[in-house]
Chain A
Amino acid sequence: MEKNLLDLDVDERANSGLFLAFQYPMEIPGVQTSFFLKTAINSKRKFLGLPEVDALEFAKLIRSQAEDLGISSEMLKRDLNVNYSGGEKKKQEILQMSILKPDMAILDETDSGLDIDALRIVSEGVNKLRSEQNSFLVITHYQRLLNYIKPDYVHIIADGRIVKSGDFTLALELEEKGYEDISKIAS
């Protein structure tokens, strides 16, 4: 079924399979993390014409996914993103993504503010979801993340447009030579 995503409201886009992992996720005081996750998963199920998720099934799902990302059950009881560290917020984004299972995910500088261990855990979360059926658009300034998530395609954006495309070697090349050559192409 063909749909123009731009014609849809933000929540309809999300339920159609689009996901955006924010660079700076919002803090939501007064809303428990697990309640938020449950509401999100049920919104998608409703959109797809499915019944609400069974409480036990949900608890199982969330526990196993959270464990993989090193998120404690204590943390799921806390208010969403409130007083989370930068790394915890990013893990939370990946947890939401792994529960909502989008067809297309945009990761907006997910690596910023992450230490080495968190970077590895977050990358593993992405790699686990990765399949023939879905796509990820990973936005980053650094090669570091791409050591863990090996891209199929690399596009370089300058001044708001794609100036060069290639495979993962393009990122390595960029790491070596910097953006100077690219800037010349762009101008």
Chain B
Amino acid sequence: MNTAVKLDSSMDISNYSEKVLLNNPFENFKLENYKYAQLHKNISSDVSLEHYEIDLSSISSIKNLELSDALDIDLHSYLNKWNYKNTDSYFRVNSISERSSIKIDLDLFEEEILHLDLSLFKENIQINKVNELQKTIIINSSNFSDHIPRSIILNLSKNANLNVIHYSISNSKSFLYFEINQQNNSNVKFITFQSDNIHTRNEFFSSLEENCSLDLYGLNIHNHGVNDNYSFIQHMKPSSQSREVFKSIVNNGAVTNFQGKIYVDPVAQKTDGYQMSRSLILDNDSKANNKPELEIYADDVKCSHGSTVSKLNQDQVYYFKSRGINEEQALKILQKAFLVETLEAIENSQIKEYSYNLLEMRL
């Protein structure tokens, strides 16, 4: 029987990784947190994906980075840090043992908005944001066919502010591990735009100290195959706020999954946690799995979660038609209306408009 491998500090992690990756690639469907992702299967599609390139000419791209001398990413940190039961994240372990890492200190760049194209690198990325000045980074992970997971780790020092826009488009395979570490009074707004993918999984591991805020918005549309989002947000100190909204529209026989947990540590009183996952299924062949989870050990917190899976409301479509708007247009408008909350979260107007255009082309 293939059971979950439990990590402890005495274990040789490189062997562990090799075992998972080479001998038993993603034989992990029995694990609750991976069962929807179907990583043990080779998901493919006959659809040919169009190459996607970000066309935001005024935004400078981060290039020519050198490998960081010191590997800041601690392979053993998991045991002390994450209240994530039973196993480590496969993605975290695999990415860190299989790839070297690049460090980006965002404060060294003059620009307020930066573009990081992951196809320019094959390494894991560690992004550090130290000072209070707000910056926006566009992370583009598109056009990949890569079965080895990759880590993108965001470290925010005290009082730091960061906006992240993530585009994940036209990937035949893409497995990403995002880690967001927030020290006291830091604020992160993270929007992930996912479309035209065949087999993807994005993990979002977030750890919040005191008085932090994390907004995590996901938009998932027009995919093929199996596409998965997993989030684990842990509140480790008092008075932080997390808000998470994932919206998926599924068609073409695709499967989209969302699984997300909010963990509240016993000391993290006055935590305000919110999670909403909603899926819209457009046809009879497609499927959506949503699994919200709360794990709360403090007694003075506000945490709520909601989850819906539905088809388009035919009465709404009828209302549009009764006003002369044809069905095709009504469906487009209603789909956009369903997703609008996620794109409205984008603060920069140029990026917002760009994202809306991107969406319009896919409706």
User: Which of A's residues lie within 8 Å of B, judged by CB?
Assistant: 9-11, 14-15, 19-20, 22, 25-26, 28-31, 36, 39-40, 43-44, 47, 96, 100
Contact = CB atoms under 8 A, between A and B. Distances in A.
A37 to B, nearest CB: 9
Nearest to B339: A30
Given A30-B340, A39-B329, A100 B316 contact: no
Nearest to A25: B319
Interface string B301-322: 0000000000001011011111
A50 B325 CA distance: 15
A14 B324 contact: yes
B337 A28 contact: yes
Given A30-B338, A30-B340, A10 B329 contact: no
B171 to A, nearest CB: 27
Given A43-B325, A100-B323, A10 B337 contact: no
Contact of B324 (A15, A29, A30): A15
Interface string B327-363: 1010001101110110000000000000000000000
A9 B323 CA distance: 12
Contact of B337 (A19, A20, A26, A30): A30
B332 to A, nearest CB: 10
B321 A28 contact: no
B205 to A, nearest CB: 30
B316 A11 contact: no
A44 B337 CA distance: 22
Contacts of B327: 9, 11
A102 B338 CA distance: 30
Contact of B333 (A9, A11, A20, A39): A39
A31 B335 CA distance: 10
Contacts of B334: 28, 30-31
Contacts of B318: 10, 26
Interface residues of B, number: 21
A14 B341 contact: no
Nearest to B313: A26
Nearest to A81: B319
B340 A20 contact: no
B145 interface: no
B316 A47 contact: no
Nearest 8 Cβ contacts at the A-B interface: A30-B337, A10-B321, A14-B324, A26-B319, A40-B323, A11-B321, A43-B324, A15-B324
B45 interface: no
Contacts of A36: 323
A47 B329 CA distance: 14
Contact of B322 (A10, A29, A39): A10
Contacts of A10: 318, 321-322
A141 to B, nearest CB: 22
B315 A26 contact: yes
Contacts of A9: 321, 326-327
Given A11-B320, A31-B337, A43-B325, 9 more contacts: A9-B321, A9-B327, A11-B323, A15-B324, A26-B313, A28-B319, A30-B336, A30-B337, A40-B323
A65 B109 CA distance: 53
Contacts of B337: 28-31
Contacts of A19: 322
19 contacts: A10-B321, A11-B320, A11-B326, A26-B318, A26-B319, A28-B319, A29-B337, A30-B336, A30-B337, A30-B341, A31-B337, A36-B323, A39-B329, A40-B324, A43-B325, A43-B326, A43-B329, A44-B324, A47-B324
Contact of A22 (B313, B319, B324, B338): B319
Contact of B325 (A22, A30, A39): A39
Pick the most buried of A10, A19, A96: most chain B CB atoms within 10 A of its CB. A10
A43 B313 CA distance: 21
